[in-house]
């Protein structure tokens, strides 16, 4: 799978991508039958969405006999990560803690899900570790700079 998506999908395109992420390479008919929102969609509508996703570089198409198989070109996290960043930036001014707080307030989480979430928040990730080290480095540099100013 590629690294950076060239363009983000529309909501309907995202639904189609979700089917491909769950099922793997699929025909148009299989995607139609597996759409999550229980709306009846014409074969041609789903075909058009898949063709648009292919033009955007978000899916690959392979012809096998008379059938065409479509497969996501990017992993789910590669698409959802930038979508979440855009959502938080446009709706919460980039304040991730407020977005997470709102989601926790609105969501119905089980005890197990809450426990998993707490564990995830307490486990450092590469990006959080790097950010923590950066802040700590700035604080040490600031203290050293203040100490240097106080000396005669």
How does pLDDT run across 40-72, given as a tens digit for each residue?
889 999 999 999 999 999 999 999 999 999 999
- Residue 144 has what pLDDT? 47
Question: Mean pLDDT in the chain?
Answer: 83
User: Where residue 121 falls among pLDDT bands split at 50, 70, 90?
Assistant: confident
> Structural domain boundaries of the chain?
1-107, 112-152
In the DSSP assignment, the letter for residue 26 is: B
- Residue 135 has what pLDDT? 47
Of 3.30.70.20, 1.10.10.60, 3.40.640.10, 1.10.10.10, which CATH number belongs to 1-107? 1.10.10.10
Helix (H, G, I), strand (E, B) or coil at 126: helix
Instruction: Write the CB contacts of 3 (distance below 8 Å, at least 6 apart in sequence).
Output: 78
Helix (H, G, I), strand (E, B) or coil at 5: coil
């Amino acid at each position: 799978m590629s690294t950076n998506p060239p363009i983000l999908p529309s909501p309907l395109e995202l639904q189609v991508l979700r089917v491909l992420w769950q099922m793997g390479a699929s025909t148009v008919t299989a995607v139609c039958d597996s759409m999550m929102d229980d709306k009846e969609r014409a074969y041609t509508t789903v075909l058009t969405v898949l063709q648009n996703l292919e033009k955007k570089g978000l899916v690959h198409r392979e012809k096998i006999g008379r059938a065409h198989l479509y497969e996501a070109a990017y992993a789910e996290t590669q698409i959802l990560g930038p979508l979440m960043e855009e959502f938080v930036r446009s709706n919460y001014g980039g304040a991730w803690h407020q977005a997470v707080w709102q989601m926790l307030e609105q969501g119905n989480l089980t005890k197990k899900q809450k426990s998993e979430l707490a564990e995830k928040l307490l486990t450092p990730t590469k990006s959080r570790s790097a950010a923590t080290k950066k802040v700590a480095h700035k604080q040490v540099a600031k203290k050293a700079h203040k100490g240097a100013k106080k000396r005669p």
